[in-house]
Amino acid sequence: MSNTKALPLLEPAAATPCCPPLTERPFTTEEAETAARMFKALGDPVRLRLFSAVASHEGGEACVCDISDVGVSQPTVSHHQKKLKDAGLLTSERRGTWVCYRVEPSVLAAMGKLLTIAPAAA
If one counts every other C-beta atom within 10 angstroms of the C-beta of residue 6, the result is: 9
pLDDT tens digit sequence for 28-47:
898 888 888 888 999 999 99
Q: What is the pTM of this model?
A: 0.72
How far is it, in rounded angstroms, from Cα 53 to Cα 68? Answer: 9
pLDDT tens digit sequence for 65-120:
888 788 888 888 889 999 999 988 999 999 888 889 998 777 777 778 777 776 66
3-class DSSP state for residue 26? Answer: coil
